[in-house]
Structure 1
């Protein structure tokens, strides 16, 4: 599987002009860069495997939405590249632990 993230400035979006496949997409929303960069809107989720914490992934919070998984990992990486002096990944210094 190949994943190609695309970063673009689209300008103002009108949600009525976006055609989604309801079998694949439940909702469409936007989040500003300012919002995802704010530390209060970010967190992380730690995943366990065989009783141990195996890995940690970022989560971005926006009202009723949570951006997580591969989408959040890509956003986190892009923000680190775009704003190296301003954006601090919530994963820096977070290391998997052997907590049970």
Structure 2
């Protein structure tokens, strides 16, 4: 139980930096933030549903944190944030091929 709290505290600066880079327009950082917003809520719910693994109050706090991440996951899966960032090299090649210009 406390290991999860320590891990979250340890990776918080990394998540903060990824979010800052995504806000600056880094597509790879944005993709990582999208993934990190979608995977942990599933793991949190799966672990907290095991009876007796952690106290009820801790499971409740984890659920509140998972709700925030679920909100971020839905927002980042929308088309507006994806379209606001530049496409990678592969997307640029496809776009040039469609328009026929250099």
Which structure's residues are more often helix, by fraction? 2
| Higher CA-based Rg | 2
TM-score by length of 1: 0.27
Q: Which has the higher contact order (CA 8 A, sep 6+)?
A: 2
